[in-house]
Structure 1
């Protein structure tokens, strides 16, 4: 088992682990339990959740995949907000409307 990512919070760690599993790499989230006590505002070393891959042989590939995935998660969305046919205004990163589930117009 190898450590491949220190997440900013438990939500990010779980998203990374799920992404790795979607890529065929078994992953587990460890740590982060203290965030419930200290809150997500604290980034005290040792309290942040970490993502581990279960097979050592997957670690190098997982690290590359995680770097790309996390960069996309943390990137500022490009483009302008868009308005759905139902009238809801959405940020550019959303591909469908949260209110009516209509797809983003091309």
Structure 2
């Protein structure tokens, strides 16, 4: 098991989001130190940072690439149109909010 990435205490939601996206891509991972923010001040702040750990060392490079792509993709990119209902959606959405169809 290897650490993929550490986050700041204020980035807990981002850590949880990325963990979920990695699991959707078949990457088994754990979110550690998720609740330690409450102990900040009692223990060193660096020990309180949320961390994503990849269970299988062999998929670590793939997991790094996935996270990098998600974090640094072009935010100004064009929205996408749902092929089923025609709804126009912003790039960050993977599912159509109207009909539930996944982006292809």
**d(CA) in 1 for partners of 2:91, 2:57:** 34
Count how many residue pairs are aligned between Structure 1 and Structure 2.
78
C-alpha contact (below 8 Å) 2:39/2:48 kept by paired residues: no
C-alpha contact (below 8 Å) 2:2/2:53 kept by paired residues: yes
**1:11 maps onto 2:13 in alignment:** yes
Q: How much has 1:93 moved relative to structure 2?
A: 6.7
In structure 1, runs of 5+ residues without a counterpart are 39-43, 80-91, 96-100
> C-alpha root-mean-square deviation of aligned residues, in Å?
2.7
**d(CA) in 2 for partners of 1:26, 1:94:** 22
In structure 2, runs of 5+ residues without a counterpart are 78-89, 99-104
TM-score calculated relative to the size of structure 1: 0.58
**d(CA) in 1 for partners of 2:54, 2:33:** 14
> Which structure shows the bigger proportion of residues in helix conformation?
2
Q: Name the SS for the 2:60 alignment partner.
A: helix
C-alpha contact (below 8 Å) 1:16/1:70 kept by paired residues: no
TM-score calculated relative to the size of structure 2: 0.59
Q: Deviations over 1:13-53 (max 9, x none)?
A: 11111111111111110013222344xxxxx3221100011
- The aligned counterpart of 1:53 is 54
**d(CA) in 1 for partners of 2:92, 2:64:** 26
Divergent runs of 4+, >2 A: 92-95
